[in-house]
Structure 1
């Protein structure tokens, strides 16, 4: 419980302090708080005692979808709705059978199984938020205006600043960073990904190419042809700098995070050719536990345009590197580790 408060719950505490209006529960158990094994969505100890009382959150608590396996495979959905309401949630999302769930909730209130006060409190929270957003006057949202209202230039710049502040330099053997700006480099990037986006590494390559560096990228996967792998290995041996990009994130149905044999061959070729080797994790930082020491190891923690641009700016010396590891990478780097670059 002490670690949960110091690490995992820290972002929630900060969000609540900053005025977050809603929190979603997950269908996962927290035995440190509730020994019954119930998922957080159905746990009074988590929703009412931890979130409401201990963390002093008075906004809307919404569940994750009731159609998800954490509820649907282990509980009667209508009965689970009662338990969730008793636990203190305000909004039940995507019931398996909405009419049946509604009938069961009405029955529970009439029988006293679910206190009417709990329903009224939840309704008051929801109506108060709707009124605050003007939804009692304009009930529909103009979806065509969402990007203009949310993705403003100021919001984009703020997000980019956050991305840059997160970049963490774990090692820089030989003080390779920043990359030189006075001459073009031949850079070969090997990319490993378990994302469905299909454009991993593109934004990073664009930023480096804009500085006259020549970037050739290869997706290293089990489906890679032998001819393409051979080409990547030749390019690797001829490069000025080799980048090893890991776009690997933990997620449902993704399975264990592993490096394909092609990635190991790519790494071996770079090391045998004694090339400066820059490894960047655009996802799970724990992947560095399974990699040998690199010339440069950089944590970006996530992928996409903002993080790839932040990584490029850090590599080029356009932004300071000031991130600190939020976790310990066993056998490699301790919690709080991070090399600084002005």
Structure 2
């Protein structure tokens, strides 16, 4: 049920994010009216028809004009030419691969790390992997033991860079991770944590999106990470999307485009001087309208070419215009773009025909992980890397068998399936990116600056200020909010993670009210619900968190049971904002889009009226089970004043 007379006009706030997109929108419409009307595609084999690196849409072309820029370009070309000329074919092929290694140090001798690395890579540690395969890059994860604390990460990065620079071809690594924030966060506290993309979409403030990315990029670079697989440019038009959701800025292509461009600028701010990171915008050609997770299957997107141009393409076009250093391909079928059934990562009509030729992108294309099911269903693991290169990719991320993939590319060159010129084209792009983004000049982390930069007071204050703009008051029918700051007895309960309930209760308790917390579990059963309801009868108000309630019916049952007590209930969706569709009788509802500490603090500030809620829904919220019936529209949001 929509209450338009309560809804704010969200457009003035959204105008801040959309203003940067105005020119880009015109370009997109021009492409729609003047582009090909049929399936995109190009002729040729083995990728030889690709535009030479350095065209007008390469990242270097966005550099400031003038003698200094020209001198830098000339120096860059000389370095790239010299390095490429000195490389053996084996070294060139190694530059095409990015993978992970277990361990907190580059030369780990910890028995479990060694065993894992032997099974995964056939070597003892990351240093040996870099030296044996001449890797172009590495990627860090928590589950591979790469993140203990910021100083450790910096030492790991420096150790891996020493291995790369101390062995042929003496080229620094791209050290990468997925620091999207929100649900996908690799470098945790004490690093500065933001609530993620959809929260930024709720604020609609391009300046906030840019500043969040700048801070994140600065902290990543401080620990030696030089590429972030972010921002997410997918337009989340499908509420049932199992893998994107709050990782997207929203369902409005123009909003997503404006914030994507702002984040590209933020991540890469100061990168050439060693202060930022390469932005790796993802997942081309657009993962926002899928109902299958490409980690476990092959999603199919049924958009027409015209729909793709209007819905999915604008954020990528915006990222290109903003100078994104890399674009990541997605493992998904787009029949209207390529009727062959090949996933986009292996599709020449998509990666070359659309991305390189129609959108004019000539920067680095990196695949999503080649371990994922979405790219392994049709072809053998030995074929996938070769097909990705032929499609137009440059960097091959995490093949399931590095030795097999590496030798498959070498064999493809030997057999003529790939030419060495085609390999050179990708290596030239990779080397150009490394030089352009300051990685060649400043490959090492400064260990003395890590603690000064990561999680600094200035950064933490900025994160809270930015997050205070994101909390969305969706419904306040009975005027329950704001809560009285004194003398209240409040029960904080809910689903999701136990830490979410505990952390929110601590913040509510800091407001001089009596607080009880009771975690109800991810999908509460009848017995748990009864216990929570009994506790609620002694409270003046109940605050209940939900997280992906559509997937766990017990969450909606808990909310409905609490409402039936007659005690005022405030529901808070701490992940996707679609939750209220599962419990539409909730009269007082907030969306925070995240459960990170700054998001919970902002929620507490809104609960007690310390902050006027200013976020608006960046997606349309439908009734659960009926996506055609709108409960709350895009742009809906209430305030106290």
Indicate the residue corresponding to 1:336 in structure 2: 635
| Contact 2:523 2:553 (C-alpha < 8 Å) held by counterparts | no
Cα distance, 1:11 vs. partner? 4.8
| Contact 1:236 1:269 (C-alpha < 8 Å) held by counterparts | no
**In 2, distance between residues paired with 1:116 and 1:32?**
32
**In 2, distance between residues paired with 1:17 and 1:65?**
25
**In 2, distance between residues paired with 1:222 and 1:326?**
25
- Listed one character per residue, the Cα deviations across residues 154-181 of structure 1 (whole Å, up to 9, x for unaligned) are 4434433443333222211122222223
| Contact 1:40 1:46 (C-alpha < 8 Å) held by counterparts | yes
Q: Identify if the C-alpha distance between structure 1 residues 34 and 159 changes in structure 2 by more than 3 Å, giving closer, same or farther.
A: farther
Indicate the residue corresponding to 1:290 in structure 2: 582
Q: For 1:70, which of 361, 374, 389 is the aligned residue? A: 374
**In 2, distance between residues paired with 1:111 and 1:191?**
60
The answer to whether 1:47 aligns with 2:341 is no
**In 2, distance between residues paired with 1:44 and 1:23?**
15
Instruction: Give the secondary-structure state (helix, strand or coil) at the position aligned to 1:165.
Output: coil
Q: For 1:202, which of 477, 481, 502 is the aligned residue? A: 502
Q: Identify if the C-alpha distance between structure 1 residues 35 and 60 changes in structure 2 by more than 3 Å, giving closer, same or farther.
A: same
Instruction: Give the secondary-structure state (helix, strand or coil) at the position aligned to 1:77.
Output: coil
Indicate the residue corresponding to 1:180 in structure 2: 484
The answer to whether 1:258 aligns with 2:557 is no
Cα distance, 1:246 vs. partner? 0.9
**How large is the RMSD of aligned CA atoms in angstroms?**
3.1
Cα distance, 1:243 vs. partner? 1.5
**In 1, distance between residues paired with 2:611 and 2:552?**
31
Cα distance, 1:111 vs. partner? 4.1
**In 1, distance between residues paired with 2:376 and 2:451?**
34
Q: Identify if the C-alpha distance between structure 1 residues 227 and 108 changes in structure 2 by more than 3 Å, giving closer, same or farther.
A: closer
Indicate the residue corresponding to 1:277 in structure 2: 569
| Contact 1:88 1:118 (C-alpha < 8 Å) held by counterparts | no
The answer to whether 1:93 aligns with 2:403 is no
Q: Identify if the C-alpha distance between structure 1 residues 138 and 158 changes in structure 2 by more than 3 Å, giving closer, same or farther.
A: same
Indicate the residue corresponding to 1:170 in structure 2: 474
| Contact 2:580 2:586 (C-alpha < 8 Å) held by counterparts | no
TM-score by length of 1: 0.82
TM-score by length of 2: 0.46
| Contact 1:321 1:339 (C-alpha < 8 Å) held by counterparts | yes
- Listed one character per residue, the Cα deviations across residues 38-73 of structure 1 (whole Å, up to 9, x for unaligned) are 222212233233333444444322112222222334
Q: For 1:236, which of 520, 527, 536 is the aligned residue? A: 536
Instruction: Give the secondary-structure state (helix, strand or coil) at the position aligned to 2:398.
Output: coil
Bigger drift between 150-159 and 126-135 goes to 150-159
**In 2, distance between residues paired with 1:214 and 1:54?**
60
Matches within 5 A, 1:314-333: 314-330=606-622, 331=629, 332-333=631-632
Q: For 1:303, which of 591, 595, 602 is the aligned residue? A: 595
Cα distance, 1:291 vs. partner? 0.7
Q: Identify if the C-alpha distance between structure 1 residues 206 and 32 changes in structure 2 by more than 3 Å, giving closer, same or farther.
A: farther
**In 2, distance between residues paired with 1:121 and 1:91?**
12
Cα distance, 1:293 vs. partner? 2.3
**In 2, distance between residues paired with 1:275 and 1:3?**
47
Q: Identify if the C-alpha distance between structure 1 residues 144 and 301 changes in structure 2 by more than 3 Å, giving closer, same or farther.
A: farther
Indicate the residue corresponding to 1:216 in structure 2: 516
Q: Identify if the C-alpha distance between structure 1 residues 247 and 267 changes in structure 2 by more than 3 Å, giving closer, same or farther.
A: closer
Q: For 1:191, which of 494, 501, 504 is the aligned residue? A: 494
**In 1, distance between residues paired with 2:339 and 2:458?**
45
The answer to whether 1:312 aligns with 2:604 is yes
